[in-house]
Structure 1
Amino acid sequence: MVVSLEKHVCHDKKAKVPDQQLVFGRTFTDHMFVADYTAGVGWHDLRIQPYQPLTLDPSAIVFHYGQTVFEGLKAYKSPNGMVRLFRPNLNFERMNESCQRMSMPAIDPEAMLESLIELIKIEKDWIPTAPGTSLYIRPFMIATEGYLGVAPSQKYKFMIILSPVGSYYKEGIAPVKILVENQYVRAVAGGTGTAKTAGNYAASLKAQEKATEEGYSQVMWLDGVERKYIEEVGSMNIFFKIDGKVVTPALNGSILDGITRRSIIDMLRYWEVPVIERRISMEEIREAHRTGKLEEAWGTGTAAVISPIGEFKWQNELFYVNNGQAGELSSRLYDTLTGIQSGQLPDPFGWTIEF
């Protein structure tokens, strides 16, 4: 389809940060995409404009009742100079699933992908090329109606901003340390755990503060009912290699359906590595560690891609995984997936688009 898209190009360009100095989520490009929604009209006024602050009524529903959703994906510069996106259609489809849960209007995935491509074409010089870097893409939607009533908004903004980034974790591909959370709960089935909505992440901050104080990179959440089954890490889904087989928590209504998670499962099955989606308890991980069967553990997500895990702390007990080193399988997954994303390796799955 052809999108009616206004373009207002910025002539006062920002200075670019050298690739080696990029950190995650601190630098933003010159332009952003914006679309407005009005009940009874639908989405209108699609435009690319200079990156700038927003002006919202203090009573806007997003501030008071948290009606907001977001996504995250990345763009890469391939060796032939073309721009590559990794499975972007899945991000826009998942955004609509989040919108449905949060009583927000659906977007047209095809139109928004076309708009994103036009935005990146304007900003392609912002895509870093150093190893481990990329252009992070943040589509998001907020409720903008000024109304102090607990009801879905009648007005919304959908926006896309771009940020050249380095590694999500300062450790890079080096194994991270994970604190298993026992006190706080992130989500339960029937809640909003499967939606990418801001409240889920706000609810995680207290536990993350505690983990950081103890020297851990992230929190691993247990289920909110029995407090024994593993769900996910703060910004990642999680995988374990136990006695030659890969296991990952099954989607249960409170775990995010990660796009990187899906891709890793597909890659493992393509390689004929046994992979099982099921419930996993911390007692099982403790026993696998005790018997020497816990071979590897890693997290997956758009931001970090693959993050090997070298240590867990649960109930004041430390579990070291693979002597605190990155495992062979997680390293192979990282190298292969980032190679496909960046165009350094062939894409046998048809996951990438190039322009």
Structure 2
Amino acid sequence: MIPESDVTFAGSFLDRADRLRADQAGMAVRMANPDSRVSPFWRGKPLFDLTPDGPRLAWLSAAEPLVTGCPEPMVFMGLDDAGIAHFAADVSHIAPPDESPAEFVDKRTLDLSETRKFIDLRAIMGEIDHRDAGIAAAAKGIFEWRLTHGFCANCGQRNRVGHAGWRFDCPACGRQHFPRTDPVVIMLVLDGDRVLLGRQSNWPERMYSLLAGFMEPGETVEEAVRREVMEEAGVKVGEVRYVTSQPWPFPASLMIGCMGRAETTEINRDPVELEDAIWVTRAEIAAALDGRNDRIAPARKGAVAQIILNAWVQGVLPDFPA
């Protein structure tokens, strides 16, 4: 099957060390330790060092003024092999969203130059070092969750950050709130040597991808695959296999990659869901992945759709029996 190291946002070089999150005193010591490292985020964008080998997460000392002056509680990301604590900090307070970081950050001791920038994670996900990507995705997921879950869903009181950044606690009713993850099925639906692709009207010109959709309560993964394909394309799916998964912090999904065997091939597209749906041969997909197909372009590099299609073209995924 697909190696985990081939999936963007899967894995990191840190031990998440959940066992340490409840120790508030110990966490305070780590946060104050200048040796601790902090990854700053501005409006959901991580800070990257643009090295000759590609973008790498920029890690600041916990003693940096940008870090010590941060009004938002940091998130404990884990420990490296040497036992050094790593955190993520939301530094969005340093400028409103309509200003460029390059115009103000240098006034606050953080050097932004041609080699250090806040960059949208989705824009460069195909270039990020695998060990950095998982950390960046986890931190972004936490910060996105904080933006939309600041009040207790039980009583309406403003929540407080707890458990080293990984939980909200309600001071009024005591309810604990944990980061949400929304499961999404994304499927390689096959009819022999053909795959079913769809496109939405707001996608870039010629871009097609695998069909996908959110799971519903009380559904198995297999049921969700069959339902989504039938709803969007009118194609009946039989056997379903799990392929791989990808954290997708835009804002809080887990992409569950599957293969499905098509039992019917006539497409009856839902025009609300899809602008187009087509069957494409393996040879055409190979050409598209190489940039040699004038009719279709694949999903962006780093997305699980392209990872699955590439594995299928290369024969990594076993075909369904004829």
TM-score if structure 1 supplies the norm length?
Answer: 0.24
TM-score if structure 2 supplies the norm length?
Answer: 0.26
Q: Which has the larger radius of gyration?
A: 2
